[in-house]
Structure 1
Amino acid sequence: MVSPEPNRVVIADDHPQLRGRIRAALEAGGFEVCAEAATGPEAVRLVQEHNPEVVLLDVHMPGNGIKAAAEIGQSMPKVSVVMLTISRDDNDLFDSLRAGAAGYLLKDTDPVRLPLALRAVLSGEAAIPRSLVARILDEFRATSGPRFGRRPKVAAKLTSREWEVMELLATGQSTDEVARELFLSPTTVRVHISSVLRKLRVKDRKAAIDLLSDDAS
């Protein structure tokens, strides 16, 4: 039996000693570190060169890690971006998520947990410390409201996550925008949409939105 290829990762941080500790933890956890960067632009270049599955970016390294995350998301959308930072600032957290980051890890995270966090991201989950999740929920509650009005009867066929996806699509958001708001991968969002179309027996997302809107009126 052929062993699966290890997931490949680029590490970007301007502190060589920290990069060394991260490399050791990830390699011990079964990852292959294919490159290291010390600046945002260098991280973008190395990701484009090596095409890893995931990149770890420092927020406040030279060249701006959040800007690098956005550039990687635009040019290499299949690469999962995870921020690794000392910053607990709300602006950094939300700017990172808006830039397309699928994770926001703090540098005081036990290095042993890094491989687990990256595997969770590669499986379509978000990697965010519990201490920061409450802030995200507060922000979500403050900026979101019902899209369809009351929940329609036909929506009983849908899971809660499928319903959330359709509500956001109904506001005109793209698949990538929905993924960022719900902290999912675009692939996972598409899987949810396909499931909704199958359950509602409609051919496309517009028909699904129309059906849910009509039933809620």
Structure 2
Amino acid sequence: MDNNPYKLVVIGASVREGRFGPVVTSWFAEQAARHGGFDVEVVDLAGIEIPLPLPAVSPKHAGDDYPRPAGMRPLTTALASADAFVLVTPEYNHSYPASLKAAIDWHFTQWAAKPVAFVSYGGAAGGRHAVLHLENVLTEVHAVTIRDGLSFPNYPTGWQDGRPLDPATAGYAKTVLDQLGWWAGALKSAREATPYAW
């Protein structure tokens, strides 16, 4: 583990067979590691047990006693330890994957008062419809969404050998990470000073 001040969890949302998501996730995690402001952990939802049926009680009220499957423990641990998140999501039918919705819904306090940035990919809109939906959902779990993000329209033609063809993209990634680092510091200080008010 490095001595960077903030823990960043990068979540790859797609679980679809033949998915492109790991390419985008790996590239962005590399940018985050180079940035130098974060300890980076990548969580691939394809490797996590995330059932769709939820317990009757809300995770907001159950806290650490929420009855999650044992196979979800790596995700829960990563979310709880994070100071910031990046969600790497495709756009399916003008929204984001069910895997990501389930991952969000199985948790609550782990998201609260922490910043979230988005990296999306898709057709002509580059995944922006998915991000717009996610912004609403994450506001409900008291996360703080970052205005700037990365969007990759028509991604099959915009990448080669695991990297985006546009040379300016790394600069855009740095802007996102700079903003995420600022919010991570501000919100971590606030959480440490005063318990978050529900």
Return the TM-score normalized by structure 1: 0.45
Pick the structure with greater CA Rg: 1
**Higher normalized strand content (fraction of residues):** 2
**Higher normalized helix content (fraction of residues):** 1
